[in-house]
Structure 1
Amino acid sequence: MNRNAWTSVAKTHVGNVRKINEDSYLDAPDVGLWCVADGMGGHQKGDTASTMIVDYLQSLLSVQDYPLSTGQIEERLILVNQNLINLAQRLPDSNVIGSTVAILLFADDLVHCLWAGDSRIYRLRNGQLKQLTRDHSQVEEMVQAGLLTSEEAAVHPAANVITRAIGASPELEIDLLSFERFAGDRYLLCTDGLNKVMTDPEIADLMQQNALPDLAEDMMQTALQRHARDNITLVMVDVTQGVPELEQTGRLRDTLPLDDTLPLRR
């Protein structure tokens, strides 16, 4: 595993309104693993949920056999899901303790995206921005059904209602998307505190500029200047080595359906 084939940077901020940062992230370029998690606002211990996800994924850093596999990721998420459910059941009012998750994993020359909730993964390739994840949210379901436009969904009263999360249900479902990694790819993982105040064209424009540390800072400052009400977390990854840019091997393309769901059960 060539751990010098990419670089990454991560930033988080409580935002302009909230007093507690319920977001967490993992930036582990040595093993090709990155994650953002957004504790469910309005529920108890959202920060506990997002931190537990990162802690359980971080335990994989001690594994000696690289690259990591999606199976190893799934096992950790199953454990977190059950632990959060058990923790919630011990509370007097039995509230949900949950978190979104978006994970980027590099294994050999492949990229794997795993997610639940509305935290996102974007990819910039050859100047074109693509949202790789599909939000697990009430408004996204309405968009897919043709009941709302994307613009209407962004300001809909149910815009914050998600339909999947770690800790929300005993039967955990994680979506998976896998494809080849190309030199020159740039990835962005973010919680919704960023994409709620920046449009995709604005994100695309920024992502084509600057080295990663400057770019991450510019993106964070843009969100804060727009008075982001939610916590903001972003992780950015540049691929410096891989399958040569524009080369199409045809072995595995990123045309897998976004509903390629992994049902995870105990």
Structure 2
Amino acid sequence: MAVLSSLKRWWQRTFGGRSGHDPEATDEFATLSSLTLDPGRLRLKVGVVSVRGNYREHNEDNYFVPGRRPVRHDVLNESGDHSTMTMESSNLFIVADGMGGQQGGEQASLMAVELIPREVAKRLAPDQCEPRHVQEAIREAVAHVNQEILGSSGAITEFSNMGTTVVLAQFRPDKVYVAGIGDSRAYRLRDGVLERLTKDHSLADALLDAGTITAEELPNHKFKNVLYLYLGSKDARGGPEDFRVMDVRSGDRFLMASDGLTGVVADVELGRVLGGVDDPQEAALVLKNLALANDSKDNVTCLIVHVVAQQ
């Protein structure tokens, strides 16, 4: 496989120089490229935060925002400045939550956010908007990366049994395509109504779907955090099973997050913050603080996209 020959060198180059502390590093992307949407033009404003959290020694989450290489969130941005960037034409956003121990989890989620955008770009022209083609490109790209993670897991002892969730949103000029594998989630707030866009692929959710347990039993079920589908599993070889394909309009607000946030902050609170905080970076920080205050025991990653009218 393409990544295996240089995998160990890449790992050392990416992580070998990390500092030993883990500050609450954040990134802000305030000015992004325009999307054309009748009757006018739209911009995307993005805020993102990813932290180790209250209990974990390392951050196994990663995210992708166009125009910027994925960065390790436990490396301090010494300048303390937030970044402003121009978005590339892919308009693809990703959150990934790694599993399989420190090295394995970090590696799997980093592979997801580095390789999926590359593979999508190979298959999807910037002006391609036909829904079937967009979905096929994303599904094939994610399936390819799943095979890369499986191959790496089997080839390198330190990465054995590694895996990662992934949730992504691909914006095109007229629509957004949302898909997920695992239990990282995506939401949309429109006209004050919060809608969950992805399904959790946990054993507890499968039991709920089968009618074996009730919705009231789900949040505290012993299998709530046991995933049957994730990147790095043979069952994910076909890529995402389900897509949400939706129109995009000014005022829409999208949230993508790892379960370190959504597992401890209720949907009603997510909607309240998304609707009540007009700056996406500030909203991401508020939600992160809520997760930590609610005693989240996992890494916390929160990526928020606001769709705004071109001024």
State the TM-score bracket (shorter-chain normalisation). Answer: 0.7 to 0.9
Question: Do residues 23 (structure 1) and 55 (structure 2) align?
Answer: no
Q: 1:166-185, aligned counterparts within 5 Å?
A: 166-169=231-234, 171-174=237-240, 175-185=242-252
Find the partner of 2:126 among 45, 50, 66.
66
Q: C-alpha displacement at 1:113, in angstroms?
A: 0.6
- The aligned residue for residue 230 of structure 1 is 298
Residue pair 2:104, 2:159 contacting (<8 A) in 1 also: no
3-state SS, counterpart of residue 152 of structure 2: helix
- The aligned residue for residue 207 of structure 1 is 274
* Pair 182,42 (structure 1): closer, same or farther in 2 beyond 3 Å: same
Find the partner of 1:106 among 171, 193, 209.
171
3-state SS, counterpart of residue 215 of structure 1: helix
- The aligned residue for residue 39 of structure 1 is 98
3-state SS, counterpart of residue 124 of structure 1: strand
Residue pair 2:253, 2:306 contacting (<8 A) in 1 also: yes
Q: C-alpha displacement at 1:58, in angstroms?
A: 4.0
CA distance in 2, matches of 1:155, 1:66: 43
Unmatched 5+ stretches in structure 1: 243-266
Q: Which amino acid aligns with 1:126?
A: D
CA distance in 1, matches of 2:264, 2:183: 14
- The aligned residue for residue 2 of structure 1 is 34
Scaled by the length of structure 1, the TM-score of the pair is 0.83
CA distance in 1, matches of 2:305, 2:215: 26
Residue pair 2:56, 2:298 contacting (<8 A) in 1 also: yes
Q: C-alpha displacement at 1:71, in angstroms?
A: 3.6
Which digits, 9 at most, give the CA deviation of each residue in 1:35-86, with x for residues without a partner? 1001125586011010001111343697794156344333332232111111
Residue pair 2:181, 2:229 contacting (<8 A) in 1 also: yes
% identical equivalent positions: 31
CA distance in 2, matches of 1:61, 1:163: 25
Q: C-alpha displacement at 1:204, in angstroms?
A: 1.2
Scaled by the length of structure 2, the TM-score of the pair is 0.71
Which digits, 9 at most, give the CA deviation of each residue in 1:88-145, with x for residues without a partner? 2224598422111000011121110121111100000110001010111111112222
Q: Considering Cα pairs closer than 8 Å and 6+ residues apart, tell me whether 1 or 2 has the greater RCO.
A: 1
User: Please, which moves more after superposition, 144-153 or 201-210?
Assistant: 144-153
- The aligned residue for residue 261 of structure 2 is 194
* Pair 161,66 (structure 1): closer, same or farther in 2 beyond 3 Å: same
Question: Do residues 121 (structure 1) and 181 (structure 2) align?
Answer: no
CA distance in 2, matches of 1:206, 1:8: 15
* Pair 94,182 (structure 1): closer, same or farther in 2 beyond 3 Å: closer
* Pair 204,94 (structure 1): closer, same or farther in 2 beyond 3 Å: closer
Count how many residue pairs are aligned between Structure 1 and Structure 2: 242
3-state SS, counterpart of residue 99 of structure 2: coil
Residue pair 2:140, 2:239 contacting (<8 A) in 1 also: no
CA distance in 2, matches of 1:60, 1:44: 23
* Pair 118,198 (structure 1): closer, same or farther in 2 beyond 3 Å: same
Residue pair 1:44, 1:95 contacting (<8 A) in 2 also: no
Q: Which amino acid aligns with 2:174?
A: D
Which digits, 9 at most, give the CA deviation of each residue in 1:168-193, with x for residues without a partner? 11633412121211211100000000
Which digits, 9 at most, give the CA deviation of each residue in 1:17-46, with x for residues without a partner? 111111100122443211100112558601
3-state SS, counterpart of residue 78 of structure 1: helix
Find the partner of 2:209 among 130, 134, 144.
144
